[in-house]
Structure 1
């Protein structure tokens, strides 16, 4: 940090579900300006090797910064969005948790496909489009504007690229 306590500073634009593109732009630049964007992308990973020199000091610093990022994010969203974020300890976990659950379901469904279907390229392309739509439709209703933006892209992006975009 820069020596002055600005942990209560908030973002002037609040994410309300209809302004995702602009709100995410503001948040990304705000966190980059604080050198904290890596907590959202996961590049500033939580220390995980206790044998590391100064491990507990590094862990404490990481947890402090992570909590600050979570506070800034929660201060910049509506209450209903904030309540959905409350169950996650890191900003990256929510989307990853949801995507993992969806992937498990898709893997189970894929077990019922015949070998001929699994080898048929048009079917695979259509299945991937359906997975993207299923994933986007299952997201919270406050992400409706973002969902529409993604579904109007041509060609449609992969689910993986959308997940990475959401995490960012």
Structure 2
């Protein structure tokens, strides 16, 4: 990733998210967004602006448009780095925070289920009599 220059902003990272590589994808995406000062929109620490009492409609509309533009730019980057099977879940999200939270819960759960399955398989393995340790 370091030293690479991406001229197309719609293709920011080369890591494509599909089920087994969520941790790698999320790490690369998080770093990418932090580098563009957009991470706080994802975490919800920088929510959509609320109109201030002393603010003109025009000024507020400007701030809201700026925030919404960033939110949708991130959603587009997400969409461009998913495999189609992941992408179909994302039509319903309008907020990048919701999309990120959904992914986190989905893949954390999937990862735990996968770990359980591996553990279960491992526990059912046993060395047959006469079987060398290498064969086992």
Whether TM exceeds 0.5 here: the answer is yes
Report the alpha carbon displacement of residue 145 of structure 1 after superposing the two structures with TM: 3.1
**1:16 maps to 2:21:** no
User: Which of structures 1 and 2 has the bigger CA Rg?
Assistant: 2
2:79 and 2:87 in contact (8 A); partners too: yes
Aligned twin of 2:37: 35
Find the partner of 2:98 among 75, 87, 93: 93
Is the counterpart of residue 48 in structure 1 residue 50 in structure 2? yes
* Alignment gaps of 5+ in structure 2: 1-6, 119-136
Aligned: 1:59 with 2:59: no
Match of 1:89, SS state, is coil
Paired residues in the alignment total 107
Query: What is the 5 A alignment of 1:59-78?
Result: 59-78=64-83
1:132 match: none
Please show how residues 115-134 of structure 1 align to structure 2 within 5 Å: none
Mapped to 1, the partners of 2:111 and 2:60 lie a distance apart of 42
CA RMSD after TM alignment: 3.2
CA contact under 8 A between 1:11 and 1:75: conserved in structure 2?
A: no
Normalised by the length of structure 2, the TM-score is 0.65
1:42–1:92: 8 Å Cα contact kept in structure 2? yes
Relative contact order (alpha carbons < 8 A, sep ≥ 6): 1 or 2 greater? 1
- The Cα shift of 1:38 comes to 1.1
Shift in Å at residue 87 of structure 1? Answer: 0.5
